[in-house]
Amino acid sequence: MTTVSPPLPQAGLSGAAYRASTRQNLLTIALGWWLLGGIFVDGWAHNQFGESLETFFTPWHALFYSGFLAVAGWCLRLASVGWRQGRRGLAAFPDGYHLAALGVPLFGLGGLGDMIWHTAFGIEVGIEALLSPTHLLLFAGAVLIVASPLNAAWRSPAGRTAAGGVRWVAALSGTSLLAATAFMHMYMWGLMTVPQGLGWVQTRGELSAVLLTALIMTAPVLLILRRFALPFGAVSVMYFVTNLGMSFMLAPGEWRVPLLAAFSGLLADALHALLRPGAARVWPLRAFAFLLPLCVWVPYLGGAVRLGLSNLSLELWLGVAVMTGLGGVALSALVFPAPLPPQALEE
């Protein structure tokens, strides 16, 4: 009697998720920072040289496009591991890296379009350089790539207070997202109003920039907080790295804003350790969401007035700082909404 052996299980098709390790995620983040660093250098060049830029082929373009090739090649290498395991399509990428699988070709398409655009229409100047259609494609692709480690950490089985590097993977990937978003809002970045001169004539526009910047800086902290307890120092790193890039690009030599951002981040880290906010601790969460922006804007606006760098009245700068806190509470209500009653879940 002939016996038939059961088929051997195919690697990668057993249902177990293919996950990137912490080291692999950290390398993705590091290569993503190469890409983002090149983008900030390119932004600095546009701000410094303006209309004198006459070609697409510049050293700063080479810097961020080489960063793109590095991070894209790394993501494809990770996908090749999944392919050898028998996975196909987006499933070949590590869990959470489907964002990079979409971001890499999108960035490549934007880069090709950017070269054609510059050849046909010349080099953009001012805000046009930031908001041209091909640059928006580059931005979308870059965001999808640098968000992949955060997405991978989010989808991992790690607990909220897991030991190891998974929480730092989330925090550092969140730093990348904050930096990319700050870059695209450089014309409304409120933390650069004082170095560039905050006068009463421009008060409305610049205080609106403060409110927008406060929301941008609060959002990634609350988003990560929804999944993980933040490791101590995470907010300080997020705020320092982002504002170091913004200062280099918009006001080279300005060191006070990055240091203030790091100090504000440490205050926020201390508040997080004290309040232990989370979905299960709603009132500490709302308090943290209110106080987080105040850690930034009370020292910034109040310090600017104290040093004679701003002529805002006490009522105005303190009122705007409180408004940033109220914006944080409103944002927390979106990220951590109240649970729905059972009746609302009925069809």
Nearest alpha carbon to residue 329 among 295, 284, 277, 290: 290
Per-residue pLDDT tens digits for 268-312:
999 999 999 999 999 999 999 999 999 999 999 999 889 888 888
Nearest alpha carbon to residue 145 among 27, 22, 66, 28: 28
Q: What is residue 203's predicted lDDT score, i.e. its pLDDT?
A: 61
Q: What is residue 264's predicted lDDT score, i.e. its pLDDT?
A: 97
Q: What is residue 21's predicted lDDT score, i.e. its pLDDT?
A: 95
Q: What is residue 7's predicted lDDT score, i.e. its pLDDT?
A: 40
Tokens describing residue 253: 């030599």
Q: What is residue 67's predicted lDDT score, i.e. its pLDDT?
A: 94
Task: Classify 310 as helix, strand or coil.
Answer: strand
* Residue 340 φ/ψ region, left for φ over 0, alpha for ψ in the -120 to 50 degree band, beta for the rest: beta
pLDDT tens-digit profile, the chain (347 residues): 444 444 433 444 445 789 999 999 999 999 999 999 999 998 888 777 665 555 566 787 788 889 999 999 999 999 999 999 989 889 999 999 999 999 999 999 988 887 787 666 666 666 766 777 888 999 999 999 999 999 999 999 999 999 879 999 999 999 999 999 999 998 889 998 765 555 443 466 678 899 999 999 999 999 999 999 999 999 999 999 999 999 999 888 889 999 999 999 999 999 999 999 999 999 999 999 999 999 999 999 999 889 888 888 899 889 999 999 999 999 999 999 988 787 776 76
Nearest alpha carbon to residue 228 among 139, 155, 144: 155
Task: Classify 195 as helix, strand or coil.
Answer: coil
Q: What is residue 8's predicted lDDT score, i.e. its pLDDT?
A: 36
Q: Report d(CA 324, CA 330) in Å as an integer.
A: 10
Residue type, 246: M
Q: Report d(CA 66, CA 70) in Å as an integer.
A: 6
